[in-house]
Amino acid sequence: MVLLGAPGSGKGTQAERLVNKLQIPHISTGNILRQAIEDKNELGTIANSYIQKGTLVPDSIIIQIVEERLGKPDCIPGFVLDGFPRTVTQAESLEFWLDSVMLSLDAVVYLWVSEETLITRLVNRRICSKCQSVYHLINHPSEQDGVCDKCGGILVQRSDDQETTVKHRLKVYEEQTAPLRDFYQNLGLLVVIDGEKEPNTVFGTLVEAISKK
């Protein structure tokens, strides 16, 4: 399955719970891209050359890295894709590859959250400068204001969590994924989940929805 959701939609949290329940791998594009770069394999080296220049890694490279990961044995029982596909071009390539290995997606889940809620979630997020633990000023504050409970590091706001940047990120995300949602809707795969509710309720709805698929 594919999991779609804007920044701040709770997609990462739900993906983690889902793979624990189903015992299948969570395939995060960001993670496998970083791993490929760390491994210094051919695709990772090519991808890193674009990142170092401050440009987007081309679809063709991302697609190859994802396909290589999906071809590993732990993906045989299934997988949850997170962060891929981001465009219709990537979605079409994924469909072509899955067809070539006689597989198909069971569902594409979109976690819907209003823009107002997304902004509130993101601008109040804080990250530990040492251990990268995540806090939230409203939903999950640290015991001591501005200090990480785990390691005592200083909590900071990421530059891309500032309100002006957040609004731009959400605008770009919507422009990218609106056609993608239409693509999967036309294939009869799209499942829309209300991501505004509390996490346990969202997870229960998510599990119920995919079990029907």
Catalytic residue IDs: 11, 86, 125, 158, 169
CA atoms within 13 A on the CB side of 197: 11
Question: 206: which DSSP letter?
Answer: H
Burial 56-74 (b: 16+ CB within 10 A, else e): ebeeebbbbbbbebbeeee
Helix (H) or strand (E) holding 28: strand 26-28
Q: In what order do the strands lie in the sheet with 108-112?
A: 26-28, 80-82, 2-5, 108-112, 190-194
